């Protein structure tokens, strides 16, 4: 992806391709309805209007894809760590994000329309962008006017105490949970991550086909964000530290207090491991950096081969592997960090961090060497898989002739096992009933 492309403003792309986009967006909704069980129908009033121009056309597009239209979507680039200054002006977080500066990535530099930028820089910058507010405030019970218009209904899960908590159902998905959990906790099936991946991958292919490589790679980066998020076990498994029975009991019989406590613990463990990994990749002097970068790049000789991109690949490949890794990672997290951050449901780390009440640093001596070695090994294993999957997705995007292969649903023995158990129980009951009837006939 070393090819250079020219930065293009969103309005220019929309103006040039407005008629084709109208047809594409309708096809996207049809595909999402056919392929995603959690699809929430788009209200007809949001349909993209290609007759509009300028800011009104932009607003219509963003509402048609059901993102927060207040996101600036300016032209910008995230400089690589250690890169020499380019002389481009720096942007304030509010110039590109709706989220606070502590969550809005590294300092960004502004791009002018027509500026030359490598495709790799476009993807690397854009792959963070969905965390800058695209999916914030879209549910009916969120503050603001979007929830009542967008049709997603009530927010099914996520930590409501966090300013960005309303994006959770777009960035997390529990598609690989035990089937009985879906029965006990039906809200867990209502993720919109697959919807986002279908939208942005389709838009990326369309942009490439119509001669807009900048937006092709920017949309591809957005799609990658959701796939990479689902490579994180705390995004792909509802409660990594609990088994199926515990999770069912909690959701069916647990008090609101017990559920809230589990939510806080889950949120805290999720945040501490991401803080640990993020700071390692940010700091050139971090002892974990070389291990993580080699794992992501696939240069440590241990990377698995990722399957070629296909329909539902994000759930069937990325999320499935992360789901399997969840219990092991959760045990390591619970053992490695100070108890206040991983074992105290009365302390909400994310909220404290947002409010400036806690500035804990994982590399400040609170994680000993043995714990760091365990954490690094577990995180590197996830990074190898995520890196390989990212390269597989990029290969699909680079090849304009690559077909979108059919879904290959992994076999889930749990469902078959439950069916077999039910059949066996039914057969045993039928046998006992028949035997009882035979005995009664024999006594007559």
Q: Which two tokens stand for residue 320?
A: 């499935």
Q: What φ, ψ does residue 340 adopt, rounded to 5°?
A: -55, -35
Quote the CA–CA distance of 358 and 337 in Å, as a whole number: 15
Q: Are 110 and 79 in contact (CB under 8 A)?
A: no
Token pair 């100070």 is found at: 338
DSSP 3-state percent helix, strand, coil across the chain (nearest 5): 60, 5, 40
The 3 state secondary structure assigned to 433-444 is HHHHHHHHHHHC
Q: Which two tokens stand for residue 217?
A: 């790679």
Indicate the pairing of strand 116-118 with strand 4-6. antiparallel
Q: Which two tokens stand for residue 323?
A: 């789901």
The 3 state secondary structure assigned to 135-168 is CCCCCCCCCCCHHHHHCCCCCCCCCCCCCCHHHH
Q: Quick check: helix, strand or coil at residue 6?
A: strand
Q: Are 362 and 275 in contact (CB under 8 A)?
A: yes
pLDDT at 254: 83
Q: What φ, ψ does residue 109 adopt, rounded to 5°?
A: -110, 140
pLDDT at 432: 67
Helix (H) or strand (E) holding 76: strand 76-77
The half-sphere exposure of 317 on its side-chain side, counting CA atoms within 13 A, is: 24
Q: Are 168 and 235 in contact (CB under 8 A)?
A: no
Q: Are 352 and 358 in contact (CB under 8 A)?
A: yes
Quote the pTM value. 0.90
Token pair 């129980």 is found at: 425
Q: What φ, ψ does residue 157 adopt, rounded to 5°?
A: -160, 170
Length of the chain: 444
In DSSP terms, 117 is beta-bridged to 5
Q: What φ, ψ does residue 375 adopt, rounded to 5°?
A: -60, -45
**Cα–Cα distance list, 405 to 311, 312, 408, 428 (Å):** 6, 10, 9, 43
Q: What φ, ψ does residue 211 adopt, rounded to 5°?
A: 85, 35
Angle at 394 between CA 288 and CA 131, to 5 degrees: 60
Name the DSSP letter for residue 85. P
Q: What φ, ψ does residue 232 adopt, rounded to 5°?
A: -95, 120
Q: Which two tokens stand for residue 411?
A: 């076999």
Q: Are 193 and 157 in contact (CB under 8 A)?
A: no
Quote the CA–CA distance of 221 and 204 in Å, as a whole number: 9
Quote the CA–CA distance of 296 and 282 in Å, as a whole number: 14
Q: Which residue in 185, 413, 390, 232 sits closest to 326, CA to CA?
A: 232
Quote the CA–CA distance of 269 and 264 in Å, as a whole number: 9
Quote the CA–CA distance of 206 and 17 in Å, as a whole number: 9
Q: Which residue in 191, 184, 399 sits closest to 312, CA to CA?
A: 191
Q: Which residue in 17, 263, 276, 3 sits closest to 156, CA to CA?
A: 263
Question: Averaged in consecutive runs of 10 residues, what is the pLDDT profile of the chain (444 residues)?
Answer: 90 97 98 94 97 97 98 93 85 88 75 96 96 95 92 89 87 93 88 97 97 98 97 95 83 84 91 91 85 94 91 94 96 94 93 86 85 95 96 94 86 68 65 68 68
User: Would you put residue 255 in left (φ > 0), alpha (ψ -120 to 50) or beta?
Assistant: beta
């Amino acid at each position: 992806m070393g090819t250079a492309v020219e930065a293009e403003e969103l309005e220019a792309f929309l103006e040039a391709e407005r008629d084709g986009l109208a047809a594409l967006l309708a096809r996207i909704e049809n595909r999402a309805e056919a392929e995603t069980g959690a699809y929430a129908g788009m209200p007809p009033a949001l349909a993209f209007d290609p007759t509009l121009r300028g800011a009104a056309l932009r607003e219509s597009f963003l509402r048609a894809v059901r993102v927060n239209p207040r996101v600036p979507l300016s032209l910008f680039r995230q400089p690589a760590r250690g890169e020499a200054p380019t002389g481009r002006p720096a942007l304030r977080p509010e110039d590109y994000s709706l989220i606070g500066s502590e969550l809005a990535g590294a300092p960004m530099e502004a791009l002018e329309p027509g500026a030359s930028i490598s495709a790799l820089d476009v993807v690397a910058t854009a792959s963070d962008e969905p965390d800058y507010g695209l999916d914030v405030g879209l549910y009916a019970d969120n503050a603001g006017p979007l929830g009542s218009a967008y049709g997603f209904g009530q927010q099914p899960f996520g930590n409501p105490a966090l300013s960005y908590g309303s994006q959770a159902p777009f960035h997390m998905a529990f598609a690989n949970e035990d089937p009985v959990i879906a029965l006990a906790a039906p809200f867990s099936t209502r993720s919109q991550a697959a919807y986002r991946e279908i939208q942005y991958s389709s838009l990326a292919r369309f942009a490439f086909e119509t001669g807009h490589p900048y937006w092709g790679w920017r949309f591809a980066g957005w799609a990658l964000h959701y796939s990479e998020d689902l490579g994180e076990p705390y995004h792909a498994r509802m409660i990594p530290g609990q088994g199926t029975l515990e999770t069912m009991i909690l959701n069916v019989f647990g008090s609101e207090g017990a559920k809230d406590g589990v939510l806080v613990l889950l949120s805290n463990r999720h945040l501490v491991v991401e803080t640990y990994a993020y700071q390692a990749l940010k700091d050139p002097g971090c002892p974990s950096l070389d291990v993580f970068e080699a794992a992501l790049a696939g240069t440590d000789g241990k990377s698995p081969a990722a399957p070629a991109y296909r329909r539902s690949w994000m759930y069937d490949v990325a999320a499935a592997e992360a789901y399997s890794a969840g219990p092991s990672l959760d045990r390591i997290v619970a053992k490695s960090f100070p108890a206040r951050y991983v074992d105290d449901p009365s302390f909400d780390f994310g909220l404290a961090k947002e409010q400036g009440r806690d500035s804990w640093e994982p590399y400040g001596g609170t994680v000993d060497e043995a714990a760091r070695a365990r954490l690094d090994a577990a995180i590197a294993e996830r990074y190898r898989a995520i890196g390989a999957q990212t390269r597989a997705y990029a290969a699909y995007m680079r090849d304009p002739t690559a077909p979108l292969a059919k879904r290959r649903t992994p076999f889930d023995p749990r469902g078959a096992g439950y069916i077999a158990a039910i059949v066996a129980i039914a057969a045993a009951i039928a046998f006992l009933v028949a035997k009882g009837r035979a005995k009664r006939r024999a006594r007559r």
